[in-house]
């Protein structure tokens, strides 16, 4: 029994890999569904919870929310749920740790490789892809030109890098965070699934 965390560069077919891996192993796949749990715990909207993973827009939103909180609290005279880095981190960390205890789960994103680092039943996977290949996939998927594709990739990957740096003081690309790195330029989702299962067997012995 194990928990698999998947960290991914943009346009690496990560959702397909996670879904196929879950079906193959009989595990539960946890991706964006964690947003609703975080929102519920913090008593904020899912959109607000999602901004913490979108650093290109969250700084101003966090400033505005702190200001709004102070005004609302004075006007209505009661506690008002506010966006807060510390609370967000604590809730996310606790939820991921609970998933680890539940076992047989695949966690896509959320800094799982950092939260569960060193855990004996955790297997950490990194999905990467050659930049040219990513650009082609984004151009096809979003029907944009090469320049716009590069902008999308940089924005999305900056969000992921900064999320890990901000909340975990870690380097997103640090190979020491992962048990296995899969190059999706050279592997199909099905091949990636097989590589992950083989690596998992060697580490955990499923």
Question: Which CATH number goes with the domain that contains 177?
Answer: 3.40.50.300
Number of domains in the chain: 1
Q: What is the pLDDT of residues 5-37, one digit of tens each?
A: 999 999 999 999 999 999 999 999 887 677 777
Q: Is residue 93 part of a domain?
A: yes
Q: Which domain does 147 fall in, by range?
A: 3-33+86-204
Q: What is the pLDDT of residues 118-143, one digit of tens each?
A: 999 999 999 999 999 999 999 999 99
- Does the pTM surpass 0.95? The reply is no
Most confident of 5-9, 71-75, 100-104: 5-9
Q: What is the pLDDT of residues 40-61, one digit of tens each?
A: 777 777 776 776 666 544 444 4
Rounded distance between C-alpha atoms, residue 118 and residue 120, angstroms: 6
Rounded distance between C-alpha atoms, residue 27 and residue 206, angstroms: 12
Q: Is residue 62 part of a domain?
A: no
| pLDDT-based confidence at residue 73 (cuts at 50, 70, 90) | very low
pLDDT over 70 at 74, yes or no:
no
- Please list, in sequence order, all residues whose beta carbon lies within 8 angstroms of the beta carbon of residue 140, skipping any fewer than 6 positions away: none
Q: Is residue 127 part of a domain?
A: yes
What percent of the chain has pLDDT above 70?
82
Q: Is the dihedral of CA 101, 103, 109, 111 positive or negative?
A: positive
Q: Is residue 43 part of a domain?
A: no
């Amino acid at each position: 029994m194990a928990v698999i965390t998947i960290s991914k560069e943009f346009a690496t077919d990560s959702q397909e890999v996670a879904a196929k891996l879950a079906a193959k192993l009989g595990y539960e796949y946890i991706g964006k569904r964690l947003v609703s749990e975080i929102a519920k715990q913090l008593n904020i909207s899912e959109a607000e919870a999602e901004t913490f993973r979108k650093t290109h827009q969250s700084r101003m939103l966090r400033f505005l929310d702190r200001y709004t909180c102070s005004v609302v609290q004075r006007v209505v005279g009661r506690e008002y749920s506010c966006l807060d880095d510390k609370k967000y981190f604590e809730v996310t960390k606790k939820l991921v740790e609970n998933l680890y205890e539940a076992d047989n789960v695949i966690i896509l994103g959320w800094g799982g490789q950092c939260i569960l680092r060193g855990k004996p039943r955790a297997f950490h996977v990194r999905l990467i892809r050659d930049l040219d290949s990513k650009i082609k996939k984004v151009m096809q998927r979003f029907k944009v030109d090469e320049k716009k594709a590069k902008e999308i990739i940089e924005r999305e990957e900056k969000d992921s890098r900064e999320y890990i740096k901000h909340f975990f003081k870690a380097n997103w690309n640090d190979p020491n965070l992962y048990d296995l790195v899969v190059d999706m330029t050279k592997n199909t989702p099905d091949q990636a699934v097989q590589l992950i299962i083989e690596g998992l067997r060697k580490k955990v012995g499923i």
